[in-house]
């Protein structure tokens, strides 16, 4: 009998929760994605940049390519491991 009473109480409580969710879901659905779109729009510096024909400020192609190659080469060889015995010794690099 006690189990039946607990089950009936739970069913009534869950029914009430379901009705509350059904009332709020259309409001949430109407604003779905607004925060993402707002964050994306805030990160755009110049929305009309695609239609602008003026040259941009920055590196020329050759300098940018050389910088990119130097950056990639910096990961080609791992840094040499330091000996444990050099800790605290002055004159280390």
Residue 13 lies in a domain: yes
Angle, vertex CA 50, rays to CA 46 and CA 52, nearest 5: 80
Please count the CA atoms within 13 angstroms of the CA of 47 that sit on its side-chain side: 3
Residue 11 lies in a domain: yes
Residue 8 lies in a domain: yes
Encode the chain (93 residues) as per-residue pLDDT tens digits: 788 778 777 776 666 666 666 666 777 788 899 999 999 999 998 888 889 888 878 888 899 999 999 999 988 888 777 777 766 666 555
Residue 83 lies in a domain: no
Total domains in the fold of the chain: 1
Closest CA to 59 of 46, 68, 71: 68
Domain range for 31 is: 1-75
Contact, 19 vs 11, CB < 8 A? no
Tokens of 91: 């004159």
Record the pTM.
0.34
């Amino acid at each position: 009998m006690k189990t039946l009473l607990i089950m009936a109480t739970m069913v009534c409580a869950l029914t009430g929760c379901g009705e509350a969710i059904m009332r709020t879901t259309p409001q949430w659905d109407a604003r779905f994605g607004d925060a993402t779109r707002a964050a994306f729009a805030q990160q755009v510096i110049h929305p009309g940049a695609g239609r602008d024909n003026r040259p941009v400020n920055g590196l020329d192609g050759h300098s940018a390519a050389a910088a990119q190659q130097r950056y990639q080469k910096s990961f080609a060889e791992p840094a040499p491991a330091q000996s444990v015995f050099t800790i605290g010794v002055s004159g280390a690099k």
